[in-house]
Amino acid sequence: MTEVPENSPRTTPRNRTVMRRAAVVTCLLLPVAVWLFVFPVREAHGERLAFEAAAVCAPGNRDGECLRTVEARIRAAEPVRDASKTRRYWLHLTEADGTASRTRLHGSLEENPSARAGRPVEVTYWRGQIRYVEFPAGSGRQYTTAKPGSGHRFFFMAGSLVGSLGLASAWGWYWWARHSHVSPRANPWQVGVPVVGALGLGAVGAVAPWTADTPGGALLIIALGAPPVLAGCAVAALVLWRRGRGGDTIAVTPRVPDGERVVAGCVWGDVPYAVEGAGHLVVGPGYLASTVDPTGAAYRRAVPGTLVPRRVRPPYWTDREGAEYRGKEWILECEDDGVRVLVLTDKDDMPWVLGALEGRHGGGGPGAS
């Protein structure tokens, strides 16, 4: 494992920024995940259990906790017209006491020929809503969209995803606060692997409620899915740990450009050609310059021949205060008359930068300032 140099700070503004962001995300997401599991999931599943255990109401009993069945006649039937691709239809009803009501059922009118105007039906209420309709003509019992059943699934899925993101943020917060000194990398595997593992468990948790009838069954699926996820993370951590023992130097084959091209990148260091805000590099045969111009046509600061490249490596969190990385960059460590200089560019563009420096014959170049 590559250690942080002795003269490097243990924390930097970038570390503190990452920790603050992770702390905020953790404190927002974990309480939301707990709330989803404790309240909506439990309430939705509890409603289902209560419905399944409900008894038939005694004559004259209108208590909402029992199943109250009334006779009705279909006044009209029409498909539900909305953006959903799930097929549903409305039944407009007139009950025996003259009460007008309507309810929504799954499926289509073509699948239920008994759902026609004028047909008699029996509707069953529970807690003030029609939960199923009996079609005496032969279609049997059809449950409405208000039937308690799978309402917990969406909340369980949301809780799993939100919780996994919260756990990933919590680990990142803890690692950057307590263990960032063990690795100088800006994107260390010690953070990446556990985060991927947490998101993997979150994905298992998001799928679990749709393959199980109860929250308990979904938790069992998560428990069965956890060992493979953890095993994969352990293998990845071992591979990355062994790879890191060889050092951070990256072998890159230089490619000398045939002509000038502009790539994303910048130069850092106490040198005149390290311009603040210059986010582009002009590379050419034997020529390298930094510029703020995305076209590379103006405001060039050419790199002199005294710049000597040393090695290519991943970005370190000690490189520059406030630097933001996308995970696609490499750093070229250089030296210019004893001054440490860093060239940052995308992985795909690093061969062109090396080729431009390798092909130099002294400083200067076309368009040099």
Q: Please count the other Cβ atoms lying within 10 Å of the Cβ belonging to residue 104.
A: 13
Indicate if the pLDDT at residue 3 is higher than 60.
no
Q: What are phi and psi of 98, to 5 degrees?
A: 90, 0
Q: What is the pLDDT of residue 192?
A: 93
Provide, rounded to the nearest whole percent, the portion of the chain with pLDDT above 90. Answer: 67
The string of pLDDT tens digits covering residues 34-83 is: 999 999 999 999 999 999 999 999 988 888 899 999 999 999 999 998 88
7 pLDDT tier (thresholds 50, 70, 90): very low
pLDDT of residue 137: 66
Q: Sheet containing 100-106: which strands, arranged edge to edge?
A: 100-106, 88-95, 68-79, 120-126, 129-135, 140-143
- Say if residue 123's pLDDT is above 80: yes
Q: What is the pLDDT of residue 85?
A: 82
**Mean pLDDT value of segment 299-303:** 91
For the cut 90, the answer to whether the pLDDT of residue 270 exceeds it is: yes
Tokens describing residue 230:
């953890």
Judged on CB neighbours under 10 Å (0-12, 13-18, 19+), 258 is exposed
Minimum mean pLDDT among 33-47, 284-298, 313-327: which range? Answer: 313-327
Among 148-152, 155-159, 189-193, 329-333, which stretch is predicted with the lowest mean pLDDT? 148-152
CATH code matching the domain that covers 50-143, chosen among 1.10.287, 3.30.1380, 2.40.50, 2.60.40: 2.40.50
Instruction: For residue 304, give Cα distances in angstroms to 134, 262, 265, 269, 338.
Output: 87, 18, 17, 14, 14
Residue in the block written with tokens 């919590």: 170
* Res. 342: pLDDT tops 50: yes
Distance of alpha carbon 4 from alpha carbon 17, whole angstroms: 19
Question: Do the two domains 50-143 and 261-358 of this chain adopt the same fold?
Answer: no
Cα torsion 171, 172, 177, 179: sign? positive
3-state helix/strand/coil string of 187-222: CCHHHHHHHHHHHHHHHHHHHHHHHCCCHHHHHHHH
For residues 155-193, one letter each, b for 16 or more C-beta atoms within 10 angstroms of the residue's C-beta and e for the rest, the string is bbbbbbbbbbbbbbbbbbbbbbeeebeebbbbebbbbbb
From residue 64, how far is each of 49, 87, 102, 149, 224 by CA, in Å?
15, 29, 18, 18, 40
Q: How does 205-223 read in b/e, with b if 16+ C-beta sit within 10 Å?
A: bbbbbeebeebeebbebbe
pLDDT exceeds 70 at position 164:
yes
Cβ count within 10 A of residue 75: 14
| pLDDT (0 to 100) of residue 178 | 87
For the domain covering 261-358, report its CATH number.
2.30.29
The residues spanned by each domain of the chain are 13-42+151-244, 50-143, 261-358
Q: Check if the beta carbon of residue 1 is closer than 8 Å to that of residue 244.
A: yes
Q: Per-residue pLDDT for 194 more than 90?
A: yes
The least confident of 58-67, 264-273, 300-309, 338-347 is 58-67
Query: What's the average model confidence in pLDDT over 333-361?
Result: 90
- Give, for 274, the enclosing helix (H) or strand (E): none
Reported as a single tens digit per residue, the pLDDT across 169-189 is 999 999 988 888 888 888 899
Cα 216 from Cα 221, distance rounded (Å) = 9
Decide if pLDDT at 356 tops 90: yes
Picking from 4-8, 44-48, 326-330, 340-344, which range would have the lowest pLDDT averaged per residue? 4-8
| CB-CB neighbours of 150 under 10 Å | 14
Mean pLDDT for 285-312 is 91
What is the model's pLDDT at position 11? 54
Distance CA 308, CA 213 (A): 65
26 C-beta neighbours (distance < 10 Å), count: 20
